Structure formats: C-alpha cells, structure tokens
Amino acid sequence: MNLDEVIADVRRGMIPATVYSDPELFELEKRRLFARAWMFLAHESEIPDPGDYVVRRIVDDSFIVCRDEAGEIRGLFNMCLHRGMQVCRSELGNTSHFRCPYHAWTYKNTGELTGVPFHGEAYGGEAGLAREGVGLLPAPRVDVCEGLIFASLDEHAPDLEDYLGDFRFFLRVYLGQSEAGAEVRGPQRFVINSNWKIGAENFSGDSYHTPHTHASVVDIDLFRAPKANKRKEGALYFADGGGGTTYKLPDEGFRGNLAHVGYPDEMIDAMERVWSAEHRALVGDARFMCSAATALPNLSFVHNWPQVNADGLVVPFVSIRLWQPISATETEVYSWFAVDRGAPDWFKDASYKAYLMCFGSSGMFEQDDVENWTSITAMSQGQMAERLNLHSRMGLTRDGETVVPPLSNWPAPGRAFVGFGEYNQRQLLNLWCDHLEAGEGTANGAAPPARAATLD
C-alpha cells in the first residue's frame, strides 16, 4: 500500500476499494486516528449514580467508565498494575471498588490502589510497594457534551468543544429536546463482517440509497419518507466534526412540523423553550428535520418517524450508533435507543417500539444496510479490487464544481446542499485523510507520552 497515493485518490473522490479491508491501513487508523480522536464511550444516563460503571473500549483498549463517590465521571484503563489482567470483567454494575480476579489487587472507583493481599508478607509493606499515588491509568482526556461521554488517548487533543465544532448544534436536535436531557436504553451489540468506515459514511450523508435499499420498508407503509421524490428534497449538511441528512417537512410552521413527525404538544413546548432561534428556524422556516448523521470517526445518530400500529400512529425515535472496529473487516455495532427524560411514558414506550422496528439487531433498516455493507467488505478483499477506485464524486462536475450551489438560506451551521450528492462522505473521508497524513504522535505533533511510571 502506498499511503500517499491512497490519500490523493480519496481526496479527489475516487476511493481505492481496498480501503475497506486492508489490514495495513487499519493498523495506521488505530495509531493515527483512533489514538488521537475524541471517542464516544457512554451516555451519562448509563451511570447516573455514584458507583455506577460500564466497561467500554477504544479499539483494543478497555476502559471502566464510572461515576466515583463524589459524582465525577472517570475513564480508567481496565488493566491491573500487577500482572496486566483485565480488572473489571462485568459489563456494567455499581461498586465503590474494583478487584482484579487474578491476585485481588483492589482499586477505588477513582482508580486509586487501596488493597494488596499479603502486602506485608509479600512486599514488606509500604517499604517494598508504596500504594500512595498509585492507581489505574486514567484516560488522558475525558469530557462530556449533551450527555455523551467522550475520551481521547491523546493528552494533547484539542478540547472536545473545538473537536466537534459546530456539529454540536445538531446534537441538540437529537439529545437536547428539553431541560431534562436524554436517557438511553441499551446498547444492543452485534458483530457484522464489515469495515467500520462503511457505516460511518452511510449515516453521514447517503440519502441516495434509501429509495432502493429500503424499498420494502416503503412497500409495507412502515415509513413513506424514503421514497426517491422525498429524499431528494432533503438537505445534506456538514459542519466541522460531522454531518448528516435531513428530510423536507410540510409548510406547517415549527409546531406543526414537529407534530407531523409525531411529537406530542408537551414535548413541542419543551423544544420551543430550549432550542435556539436557529434550531426553530431549521424546523419551522427552512422545513428540514435532521435524520442520520456521523461525527468523526465512528459515532452516528438516526432520527426517523415510522408508523407503529394499524391505526396509523406515527412516532419518532432517536438512536445513537457506534461503529466499533474489531479488525479491517469486522465491526461491533453498538446501538442505543435515546429519548428525552421528560417525555410522557406512553411516548417513551411507543418510541422504543419504533426504534426496534427500524434499527438494532431486529430492525428492518438495519438488516437492509448490513447486507450491503458486508458485501462491499467481502468484494474489496479480492485481487481485482486492488485495480479499482470507487466513484464517490456524486454532486460534482468533471472540473470539481458542485452540480448545485450550496443553500444560501441555510439557517444552521455548516454548508448544506439539497438533492443527492456525496458531499458529506467526501468531507468525512477528508478528515480521515488529515489524521492519516499527520503521522504518528499526538494531535499537536508532540511526541507520544513516555511510559507511565506507576510502580517502583
């Protein structure tokens, strides 16, 4: 693999097919992208109380994401300082301490080492093994945005707010619908034989596939909006750290348009209170409702409004999605259902049903998508694929001009286009190229941190 040639091809929208299966490229992604980006780990509502924890990973690195006794959120590298055993093997729970199952070294949920069996007999006490100031390695950076807990392995990474940039505006649509914020259920987890980038790209802006891939969903009247004439009316937007798709709404004003997709009056009241004038203009004046989106590298969202019963009840749902890479050709999908904490109980139940019908391991949209993605990954591993660059220039003329101009009256951050195009996939992969070109080290070019000095 010639990385310079790969990057040059990707930047012009002609993607070498092997980027979706090349193990050498995946190793570079681990070191140059996942080691420096801000990575989503959990939602605050998964660890609401002191002592709550979940175990998540950043590619190969396992972390205990916990709320300590003082209520502070922490990300602790899940590796015992003694012999390297995974300290916590349960996926979630509540505890004030974590005990390694190998030799029972024990750590507080702040990470501090508090217990060493036979400390005196085996080590001569503090003289042989000083516990003070010793603990599980913390994630170099941890921060929260709209209830989403992120970590970065790069201590020099830009602040999370700067990393996400104006994409934070769109997070409010999914997760900031009232003063109460969102809560989540899940995640469902399942493994697919697909490269992680395919799902991330798809959710970032592929409205072109929905009339065809999801035709059966339309045929059974589950969700009519994927029809081609509807999808091409939507806008594709990209703002700093991410981008996504929208659907065009009727001309019924802010409240009427939210009611059209199934939100009840009390939730519309809350959105009217907490959303900015620009948020309200996006839905009410410009008549666009956010649907799928991706934030670099592998965090996605989806917001749809299917029909959930024979009476024609339409209810929206929100899902948080993580394309967690296992290898160049395997991805573990994490799928959460998200709903506003302040929503009425009937809405929460109906929205959860809508989510299960569409996404997650039993979802109709999910089944359609995964069939495509596994095929792409399998095809990219052959010898002929090494000769092929995939065409990702939809929306551009031969000389690189856009087929249609960007929207001049777009009320939200970023740049948006109406109609079909691969603007967002190209932009997401351009950011991917930026990381791969930066080489080893950290986000600001500094050398990687020295090996942590934990035990003498």
Q: What is the DSSP string of 191-224?
A: EESS-HHHHHHHHHH--SSHHHHTHHHHHTTS--
Q: Which ranges constitute the DSSP H helices of 69-126?
A: 119-123
- Quote the pLDDT of residue 146: 97
Task: Report pLDDT digits (tens) over 301-330.
Answer: 999 999 999 888 999 999 999 999 999 999
Question: What is residue 425's three-state secondary structure?
Answer: helix
Q: Quote the CA–CA distance of 254 and 283 in Å, as a whole number.
A: 6
Type of residue numbered 390:
L
- Quote the pLDDT of residue 228: 60
- Quote the pLDDT of residue 132: 86
- Are the C-beta atoms of 426 and 402 separated by less than 8 Å? no
For Cα atoms 14, 17, 22, give the angle at the middle one, nearest 5 degrees: 130
Q: Rounded to the nearest 5°, which phi and psi values hold at 155?
A: -65, -20
Query: How deeply is 227 buried, as exposed, middle or buried, from its count of CB atoms within 10 A (0-12, 13-18, 19+)?
Result: middle
- Are the C-beta atoms of 302 and 318 separated by less than 8 Å? yes
- Quote the pLDDT of residue 220: 75
**For 360, how many CA atoms within 13 A lie in the half-sphere containing its CB?**
18
Going by C-alpha positions, the residue among 338, 238, 377, 336 that lies closest to residue 41 is 336
Tally of residues, the chain: 456
Task: Report pLDDT digits (tens) over 253-276.
Answer: 999 999 999 999 999 999 999 999
- Are the C-beta atoms of 22 and 328 separated by less than 8 Å? yes
Q: Which domains does the chain have, with CATH numbers?
A: 40-143 (2.102.10.10), 165-437 (3.90.380.10)
- Are the C-beta atoms of 265 and 254 separated by less than 8 Å? no
Burial per residue of 200-220, b for 16 or more beta-carbon CB atoms within 10 angstroms, e otherwise: bbbbbbbbbebbebbeebbee
Q: Quote the CA–CA distance of 449 and 455 in Å, as a whole number.
A: 17
pLDDT, averaged per 10 consecutive residues of the chain (456 residues), comes to 95 98 98 97 98 98 97 98 97 98 97 95 91 93 98 97 98 98 97 98 94 82 68 94 97 97 98 98 97 98 94 95 98 98 98 95 91 97 97 95 96 97 97 91 50 50
- Quote the pLDDT of residue 447: 44
Classify residue 7 by its DSSP letter: H
- Quote the pLDDT of residue 442: 52
